[in-house]
Chain A
Amino acid sequence: MNFDDLFGHIGQHTVDGLSKGAIYALIALGYTLVYGVLRLINFAHSEVFMVGTFAVLGLWTAFGVENNPPIGQAILFLVLGLIVAAVASGGTALALERIAYRPLRRKNAPPLIFLITAIGLSLVLVEIFGLVLPKLLGEAVPSIFGRARIILGMPTIIEQETLFTVLGTSITNIQLIVFVAAVVMMALLDWFINRTRYGRGVRAVAQNPETAALMGVNQERVIMLIFVLGGIMAGAAALLWSMRFGFTQNSIGFVLGLKAFTAAVLGGIGNLRGALVGGLFLGIVEVYGATLFASNWEDVIAFVVLVVVLMFRPTGILGESLGRARA
């Protein structure tokens, strides 16, 4: 129990936690959107994020981006990266919906079957990126059973440096970019859902699918839309992740996805603003916890938080919002 470190540098830990939590929050949006409308946990969403990181890696490798490019190039590659990751992740999410969920919806399958399908899909995606693609691309990959897929490094696009220091808390440029970018993306999504015509369709289907259908909302299109939106957010998260942590791996999605899901539940699954609150909260709790115990307990903290939240407040901090009309 390292209380001195925690309270001595509480500002620093908070900043670290916030910038970490912002990424969780972006991924959490994908869970929350799908859950809000379809009442189903898209377990394969973590792999949608993973595909995004590989898209970013592929783009940067294809253009031969080196460490610390000039600022103009850096911005260009970040913007390109955002587009490519958003397209890749959004496309993956849409493909998942088309291939797996739609036939099940037609059959009115029980929720368990959706979940098992999603688990299978996520396993397939992980293996495609860990085994099939490296073989196709001709890279030597140690194929030790189940693990030891290699970690792939990415070029540093922006060198991490301290921008300014407030009360002994230093804030780096990357932390700031990650945080601001995530909040801007979420604000955009919030605006889209709450203010546009398409967003109204989403809210209508979330509240009552039958009535929405009677009012002329094309349900299939709404479902496609939420999967794509969630995918785009995961793509944005993938870019921010690549920028901040600079590596990816085919199995990267599992723990991260579980944490993002925890964030979604924390904030109230089905609630977009809740995802932000939950993500930031989880990020902070995790950093505090890792300081208090040891960093190798970090993952346990997230899972324990999840169990505790589900036990005492299954509707999360802010409660449900997309589907508020349903009890």
Chain B
Amino acid sequence: MINKLRGMERRRAGVLASMGDRWQTLPKWQRSLGLLAFVAFLYHLPYLGKLPGGLVIPGLNGLRTDSISGGSNWSGVLFTCAVYVLVAIGLNVVIGLAGLLDLGYIGFFAIGAYGVALFGSVNSPVVQWFQAEFNLPATWAVTWAICAFIALVLALISGVILGWPTLRLRGDYLAIVTLGFGEIIRIVARNAENVTNGPQGISAIPGPEGPPSPDNQVFGLIDVKPWYWLALTVVLLMVFAVRRLEHSRVGRSWLAIREDEDAAAVMGVYPFKFKLWAFAIGAALGGFAGFLFASRYAFIDPTQFNVNLSILFVAMVVVGGSGNMIGVSVGAVLLAYLPERFREVADYRWLAFGLAMVLVMILRPQGLIPSRRRARELKDRAAQAEEAPAHV
């Protein structure tokens, strides 16, 4: 059966690769047009299958999560997908490009979320302290846009603080330490009651139009479509930025470090510096995703940032195809969308994620949609194993 699976896998990968090749050979204007159409389609997604005048397209409508009984809000699911894609892009910089397995990514996500909660909500002890100290009115809080900046900077700084001592460690150790770091953040958020409100969490986290209230015209709690469009815009901007980064000197250094750290060091790439960069940039992206998440739900508490979610993030990256931005985005969308659409099996989602991780690693370690370079690397290693079977 394993062989049959392998054969199917190979055919699927072959089709994907040939499609990729054909895309590459298209003239530039056709590619830009295709891309533009795709982006337009993404913005159109909340209306998927619904025509003006109340008409419904049955096939497409079935894809919506609200087409099943008790299904979740379709735009809400899209928003979650977009946030997870942002997380996957950030984590891909750390795992896929720089080759650092970060199991505590949820920590940065949480820091971003708490960044907006602590400074933007009138219910947060930090804001209340400011109010008491500087005699500010009880409605005073930091505006949302400044909170975005604060969340980003906090996540970036925490990435550097965590990376500084730990990035000297090699792969496995780093993974365990980051796992511990994610837990530390969660426990601190739970225990530091006079800063984070502890287990009760923080409510009334603001959105672009201020704290949640009936006056909010666009970014309210009922209609999630604007939130999705906002998140999608952020994702597209970040995809563009990370793509530029990937093909820059920094990106090439990351790949060199991932493939062979010692060789890269000998060739004049200072690994520590670039690893720290990867960690900090990844952390900032994760923090921004957490910021969007907290703003949309207007309430956070420490239980939302548990280890399972952190492992889900890693699963998105490795199942999709670490090192390839399209791959990790597809992984993120799949892992966020499938349990919502097929609610009958939603209980088994963690089991399915675990199985998917094991199966993908054994059958196809480069992921469902691999980056070409990564696929070649793994092939090389397999070839080496053939040559020297005695080696462990």
- Show the binding face of A for B, using Cβ within 8 Å: 37-41, 99-100, 103-113, 115-117, 119-124, 126-128, 131-132, 143, 145-147, 205, 209-210, 213-214, 219, 223, 254-255, 258, 261, 265, 294, 296-297, 299-300, 302-304, 306-307, 310-311, 314
Between A and B, 10 residue pairs with Cβ closer than 8 Å are: A39-B392, A41-B172, A107-B385, A122-B354, A123-B311, A146-B308, A147-B308, A255-B183, A303-B181, A310-B173
Q: B381 near A107 (CB under 8 angstroms)? A: yes
The CA of A207 and the CA of B73, in the complex, are separated in Å by 58
B351 at the interface (CB under 8 A from A): yes
Partner of B362, one of A100, A123, A210, A310: A100
Residues of B within 8 A of A (CB): 95, 99, 101, 103, 165-166, 168-169, 171-173, 175-177, 179-181, 183-184, 187-188, 190-191, 303, 306-309, 311, 314-315, 318, 346-348, 350-351, 353-358, 361-362, 365, 378, 381-382, 384-385, 390-392
CA distance A39 to B392 in the complex (A): 10
Partner of B180, one of A122, A303, A311: A303
Closest-CB distance, B384 to chain A (whole angstroms): 6
| Contact status B180-A306, CB under 8 Å | yes
Residues of B near A115 (CB, < 8 A) are 101, 171-172, 175
A261's partner among B169, B176, B187 (CB-CB below 8 A) is: B176
Contacts of B318 in A (CB 8 A): 116
Partner of A296, one of B173, B180, B191: B191
Q: Which residue of A lies closest to B172 (CB)?
A: A41
Contact B362 A132 (CB under 8 A): no
Question: Which residues on B sit within 8 Å (CB–CB) of A314?
Answer: 169, 173
- A307 to B182 alpha-carbon distance, docked (Å): 13
Q: Which 9 A-B pairs have the closest CB atoms?
A: A120-B357, A123-B354, A108-B385, A303-B180, A124-B354, A127-B351, A120-B358, A117-B361, A41-B172
Asked whether B351 lies within 8 Å of A209 as measured between CB atoms, the reply is: no
Query: Nearest-CB distance from B316 to chain A (Å)?
Result: 12
Partner of B165, one of A109, A255, A307: A307
Contacts of B103 in A (CB 8 A): 119
Among B95, B177, B356, B381, contact of A307 (Cβ-Cβ < 8 Å): B177
Residue of A nearest to B166 (CB): A307
With A121-B354, A127-B354 already in contact, the answer to whether A38 and B392 are too (CB < 8 A) is: yes
Q: Give the nearest-CB partner of A299 in chain B.
A: B187
Q: Is the CB of B191 within 8 A of A119?
A: no
CB-CB under 8 A for A310 and B166, given A108-B391, A111-B172, A303-B184: yes
Question: Does the CB pair A304–B184 fall under 8 Å?
Answer: yes
Q: Is the CB of A299 within 8 A of B183?
A: yes
Closest-CB distance, A267 to chain B (whole angstroms): 15
Which A residues lie within 8 Å of B314 (CB)?
116, 119
In the assembled complex, the CB of B274 is this many whole angstroms from the nearest CB of chain A, namely 17
Q: Give, as a whole number of angstroms, the nearest-CB distance from B78 to chain A.
A: 19
Tell me how far the C-beta of B111 lies from the nearest C-beta in chain A, rounded to whole angstroms. Answer: 16
In the bound complex, CA of A302 to CA of B184 (Å): 10
- Contact status B358-A100, CB under 8 Å: yes
Known: A261-B176, A304-B184. A113 touches B361 (CB 8 A): yes
| Chain B hits for A99, CB < 8 A | 358
Distance in Å from the Cβ of B246 to the closest Cβ of chain A?
19
B348 and chain A: residue at smallest CB distance: A131
Chain A residues with CB under 8 Å of B183's CB are 255, 258, 299-300, 303
In addition to A123-B311, A124-B354, A303-B181, 19 A-B residue pairs with Cβ atoms within 8 Å of each other are: A38-B392, A103-B362, A104-B361, A107-B385, A109-B365, A109-B378, A112-B101, A113-B365, A117-B361, A120-B353, A122-B354, A126-B350, A127-B350, A145-B346, A146-B308, A300-B187, A304-B184, A310-B177, A314-B173
Give Cα A131 to B348, complex, Å.
8
User: Are B381 and A209 in contact (CB-based, < 8 A)?
Assistant: no
Q: Please, which residues of chain B bring their CB within 8 A of the CB of A306?
A: 176-177, 180
- Nearest-CB distance from B125 to chain A (Å)? 18
CA distance A261 to B183 in the complex (A): 15
Q: Which residues of A contact B362 (CB under 8 A)?
A: 100, 103-104, 117
Cα distance, A303 to B101, chains bound together (Å): 17
Chain A residues with CB below 8 A from B307, complex form: 254
Q: How far is the CB of A248 from chain B (nearest CB, A)?
A: 18
Contact B347–A131 (Cβ < 8 Å): yes
With A108-B384, A314-B173: A120-B355 Cβ-Cβ less than 8 Å? yes
A297 to B362, CA, bound (A): 38
| A258-B361 in contact (CB<8A) | no
Shortest Cβ distance from A297 into B: residue: B191
Q: Note all chain A residues with C-beta closer than 8 A to B187.
A: 296-297, 299-300
A87 to B132, alpha carbons, bound, how many Å?
62
- In the complex, the answer to whether B311 meets A119 with C-beta atoms within 8 Å is yes
Given A100-B362, A127-B351, A209-B390, A258-B180 contact (CB < 8 Å): yes
Contact B381 A110 (CB under 8 A): yes
State the CA gap A115–B318 with chains docked (Å).
12
**Closest-CB distance, B387 to chain A (whole angstroms):** 10
Judging by beta carbons under 8 Å apart, are A124 and B166 in contact?
no
Complex Cα distance, B392 from A37, in Å, reads: 9
Question: B392 touching A105 by the CB < 8 A rule?
Answer: yes
**A120 surroundings in chain B (CB, below 8 A):** 315, 353-358, 361
Residue of A nearest to B198 (CB): A296
Q: Are B361 and A311 in contact (CB under 8 A)?
A: no
| Cross-interface CB contact of A209 among B168, B361, B391, cutoff 8 Å | B391
With the chains together, A173 CA to B184 CA distance in Å?
A: 34
Residues of A within 8 A of B175 (CB): 41, 115
Q: Is the CB of B357 within 8 A of A116?
A: yes
Give complex CA distance A310, B164 in Å: 13
Task: Report Cα–Cα, A214/B351, bound state, in Å.
Answer: 42
Contact A132 B351 (CB under 8 A): yes
Contact status A307-B351, CB under 8 Å: no
CB contacts (< 8 Å) of A41 on chain B: these are: 172-173, 175-176
Which one of B168, B187, B357, B361 has the greatest number of beta carbons of chain A within 10 Å?
A: B361
- Residue numbers in A under 8 Å from B308 (CB-CB): 123, 146-147
